[in-house]
Amino acid sequence: MTSQITTECPADPNEPVIELNGITKTYQMGSVEVRALDGVSTVFQKGDFWAIMGPSGSGKSTMLNVLGCLDRPTTGTYILDGRDVSNMNDDQLSLIRLRRVGFIFQSFNLIPQLTVQRNIELPLYYLDWSVKESRKRARELADMVGLGDRLNHRPTELSGGQRQRVAVARALANDPAVILADEPTGNLDTPTGKQIMALLEDLNTQGKTIVMVTHESHVAAYAGKHLHMLDGKISATEDHS
Amino acid sequence: MRYSKAVRNILLGMDNLRLHKLRSLLTMMGIVFGVGSVIAMLSVGEGASREALDQIKKLGSNIIIITSVKPSDDNANDMRRTRMSIYGLLYHDAKRLRETFDTVIRTVPVKLIRKDARVNVRHLEVRLVGTTPDWFSLVRRPLVAGRVLSEQDMKKRKAVAVLTEHGARKLLAVESSLGKPVRIAGDYFEVVGIIRNENIQSGSLSTPDQDADAYVPINVARERFGDMFVKRTSGSYVRELVELHQIIAEVDASENVEKTADGIAEMLKRSHMHDDYRISVPLALLREVERTKRTFNIVLGSIACISLLVGGIGIMNIMLASVTERTKEIGIRRAIGARQKQIVGQFLIETIVLSTAGGLIGICLGLLIPWLITFFAGMPTVVTAWSIVLSLVISVGVGIVFGIYPAFRAAQMDPIIALRHE
């Protein structure tokens, strides 16, 4: 098992990582049927940095849940990294998340009782890496996000920005095909937020595919491609790259 | 440094439990006391029955004891006061027993006579036991000094006696008096040996074995003292004629003991007019004691199991609270890619670690309590290996049974909702 942190190869613009085809997602809220996603079709290429934008209730979060294989679409097909995941069962989806998806959340979502080291190792634990290998990998990732000296601290002993760095390191641990970030700067002050965005930008230039949900345009500006959503539909896409 | 997966998971579980030391400790208490009481209760029961069993086993399990009993004939006492009561086993019975049953290897007749024994000025009422040398090989008693009765003594009708330790001490005070005479009811007997007496308390199973016994060859006893027993007390004059007070029959194999005992009962019923004998079978008593013990164990065990059950419910309660408290953590783990069964495994291992640790502490307690009982109350206790194994298995079982529901609750949470949980 190699502990390669980033895929150094330049992105091939013609290789799709995410293909959505007529995705709908409906929820039953009491007697009312809510259509959170209404026929979404789009393709994200390898090495893209997408920002999904839109007002609250536009289906951003549902979109991210479906992209992150936390939720199954009601209809439509979703091909992630060459595999159709739209009809997978819970176990299969868990494995897809484990191997191909890295999550970064607004509220960091680190496990409070585990040290920084253990938090970063978490995906590797479920991937059955050996203790030795995962230690080495966690150390490398912590060094990369600038927290090499904080490995034995607990999340509560870190600042917000540091916590988000740990979360980024954890998202990278399994060398995912796509990194999904849900308002990654939402709980951070502007300077810290900028640092995190710089880190994500850096990862993108190293070839990582990133999909980020945000409603702040200055954060979205870091992303090369924008996808606007409204009422569960894609209202516009922009390419600034 | 390569842990196996299981060891790693157990260590992780322990880490989580260590975060809430007090809570984990309190949760374990139910199991600790449950396991402790299971072991302690079983040890008391085991101790009590072991004592009874030891006594029976000392008699040997392949024997049948037939004892003469005075028939309850109230008229005889009142109306014909001076009449002689004749009852009990006969010399003939012993012989017939041996001849009738193939399974009976040998019979040992026992004749009991109360007499006064005298050495110089010391005197003591002893129980004269007239028997054959076989008695000593059947009812094994450790020899303190000298020898036991021999066939030679029987043949030559020697006036020799084997004394029990207590009696000897009271009469002679020294062991070097072997070979010296003891006067029993006017006759002199040479002391040839001293044996240790065993304390047999169970009334139903008395072999002639008391503080002060003098064993003499049965033919000598019959010659010197006859079969008649005369007792004069104020206002009454009792004459009894009893040939043998006891016959001990040795059976060749334990599976034949009960059959033979039935046969003997049938035979004696035909030849004896009155019901003047009683047959006791140590093996049957052994079985009875074992049956009682089993019942006892079941009753005590189930009481203790109730406390284990309560302990288990306590664990389940805490684990359910813990699952709710750690909803967010479960959501994070699921988002990262943990499968449901891995979440189940995580919580189940925590519960099992908790209950097993409780079980181990409980075993220490269960070893301590019987020791205290023996020390302070003087009751015999025996901690058996199987009770320790059983309670350990039960505590692991409790962990599984009461951990599985909280674990499944944790695993079946929707990761999206769990992630949003604050």
Backbone angles phi, psi at B397, to 5 degrees: -60, -45
Greater model confidence, B274 or B58: B274
Give pLDDT, residue A36: 92
- CB within 8 Å: A71 and B338: no
Is B342 part of the contact surface with chain A (CB cutoff 8 Å)? yes
CB pairs < 8 Å spanning A and B: 66
Domain with residue A120: its CATH number is: 3.40.50.300
Q: Would residue A143 count as lying in a domain?
A: yes
What count of other Cβ atoms lies within 10 Å of the Cβ of residue B367? Answer: 15
pLDDT in tens, A29-74: 888 888 999 999 999 999 999 999 999 889 998 999 999 999 999 9
Confidence band, pLDDT 50/70/90 cuts, at residue A206: very high
- Segment B372-385 mean pLDDT: 88
For chain B, the three-class secondary structure string (H helix, E strand, C coil) is: CCCCHHHHHHHHHHHHHHHCHHHHHHHHHHHHHHHHHHHHHHHHHHHHHHHHHHHHHHHCCCEEEEEECCCCCHHHHHCCCCCEEECCECHHHHHHHHHHCCCEEEEEEEEEEEEEEEECCEEEEEEEEEECCHHHHHCCCCEEEECCCCHHHHHCCCCEEEEEHHHHHHHCCCHHHCCCEEEECCEEEEEEEEECCCCCCCHHHCCCCCCCEEEEEHHHHHHHHCCEEEEEECCEEEEEECCECEEEEEECCHHHHHHHHHHHHHHHHHHCCCCCEEEECHHHHHHHHHHHHHHHHHHHHHHHHHHHHHHHHHHHHHHHHHHHHCHHHHHHHHHHCCCHHHHHHHHHHHHHHHHHHHHHHHHHHHHHHHHHHHHHHCCCCCCCHHHHHHHHHHHHHHHHHHHHHHHHHHHCCCHHHHHHCC
pLDDT in tens, B246-277: 888 888 887 888 888 888 888 888 888 778 88
Q: Would residue A194 count as lying in a domain?
A: yes
Task: Name which of A5-14, A96-105, B254-263 the model is least confident about.
Answer: A5-14
Whole-number average pLDDT of chain B: 82
Domain tally, chain A:
1
Is B298 part of the contact surface with chain A (CB cutoff 8 Å)? no
Greater model confidence, B4 or B298: B298
The ipTM of this complex is: 0.92
Give pLDDT, residue B223: 83
- Segment B134-141 mean pLDDT: 79
Residue B297 scores a pLDDT above 90: no
Q: Would residue A31 count as lying in a domain?
A: no
Give the rounded distance of the alpha carbon of B361 from its chain centre. Answer: 29
Greater model confidence, A147 or B229: A147
Residue A104 contacts residue A167 (beta carbons within 8 Å): yes
Q: Give CA–CA dist B64/B232, Å, rounded.
A: 34
Confidence band, pLDDT 50/70/90 cuts, at residue B157: confident
Distance from CA of A104 to the nearest CA of B (A): 10
pLDDT in tens, A208-232: 999 999 988 999 999 999 999 999 9
Distance from CA of B338 to the nearest CA of A (A): 6
- Segment B145-153 mean pLDDT: 85
- Segment B362-373 mean pLDDT: 92
Residue B367 scores a pLDDT above 70: yes
Q: Would residue A183 count as lying in a domain?
A: yes
Q: Give CA–CA dist B230/A121, Å, rounded.
A: 98
Name the residue of chain A whose CA is nearest to B3's CA: A131
Q: What is the distance in angstroms between the CA of the first residue and the CA of the last residue of chain A?
A: 35
Q: Give CA–CA dist B356/B365, Å, rounded.
A: 14
Residue A4 scores a pLDDT above 60: no
Name the residue of chain A whose CA is nearest to B9's CA: A125
B88: left (phi over 0), alpha (psi -120 to 50) or beta: left
Residue B204 scores a pLDDT above 50: no
pLDDT in tens, B12-41: 888 888 888 898 999 999 899 989 988 888
Task: Name which of A104-113, A127-136, B1-10, B197-206 the model is least confident about.
Answer: B197-206
Is B21 part of the contact surface with chain A (CB cutoff 8 Å)? no
Residues in B closer than 8 angstroms to A126, CB to CB, are 333, 336-339, 342
Confidence band, pLDDT 50/70/90 cuts, at residue B1: very low
Confidence band, pLDDT 50/70/90 cuts, at residue B103: confident
Name the residue of chain B whose CA is nearest to A111's CA: B329
pLDDT in tens, B230-240: 766 666 677 77
Question: In which domain, by residue range, is A174 found?
Answer: 45-74+88-239
Q: Would residue A26 count as lying in a domain?
A: no
Q: Give CA–CA dist B242/B300, Å, rounded.
A: 47
Chain A residues touching chain B at CB-CB below 8 Å: 65, 68, 70-71, 90-91, 94-99, 101, 103, 105, 109-113, 122-123, 126-128, 130-132, 170, 174
Is B404 part of the contact surface with chain A (CB cutoff 8 Å)? no
